[in-house]
Structure 1
Amino acid sequence: MKNELIKIRRALELLQENSFLFKNFPNGCCGSSCYLIATYLEEKGLGTFDYIWGQKENALETHAWLLSKGEQYIIDLTADQFDCEPIIYLKGEHPLSSIFNQQSNLGNASIQTGSSVDSTYYFEYERFKNLLSKLDEE
């Protein structure tokens, strides 16, 4: 899984070159990234993932990450916007849980089987998959 996440992170970095949603990646891209990552991993048969939304107490700053159903693994490929590792894949508590201590599980993050999102995400997801295919060819 870790190698797959490294490739996904690279595709997200490349996506910012021609994307409004990802132009400042990883800054401000945690939610959008969650949708694409969850959809891709689900499509690959690597699990189903919930969208976890965290907010700082008494602040407007928020962050989002994924939580796998069943095994309870955390996936966060945008944590480096908060001076964490760029790829978090672990079982247990998110390193940013103490900062974003007001958390909600918003359910399945996949744009195919879960979340109802703006159609922009479907376009971005196709671009994301194309980038991943190109990375596989390298």
Structure 2
Amino acid sequence: MYNPPLPPTVSERSTTLFAYGSRLQPIRSGRFADAASALAWIGGAAATVGHPAGLAVAGVLLGIVATSVKRAVAAGVSFGITVAAGVVVLAVTGATPPAGGFTPVEMIGLALLGPPTAAAVVRALG
């Protein structure tokens, strides 16, 4: 079977689909990686407080600053567990604010599935 020679840029390609991954390397593993991760958490939490779609925003931000797909999923899961715990506390105390028409059970499901999925997709792409 004939295998055509590949240009060096294709054979040396990283595991991501897009080329911007190498430009984000200083943010992911450089001097300010912890600060970038903390800002992603804060930005995601602020977006989630404003609207349930903020869970996807949090996942995207966490996926951008993650060093690998596994770490992106782990960050998304930990964020989702934190939000789900907050929803449980608010539901138990009876202080549940309106969340775009979602019940607390639906919000817990969204919190546990949304951020890890968005983070994994974003990290896999770049």
Whether the TM-score (by the shorter chain) exceeds 0.5 is: no
Q: Which has the higher contact order (CA 8 A, sep 6+)?
A: 2
Structure 1 or 2: more helix by fraction: 2
Structure 1 or 2: more strand by fraction: 1
**Which has the higher Rg, Structure 1 or Structure 2?**
2
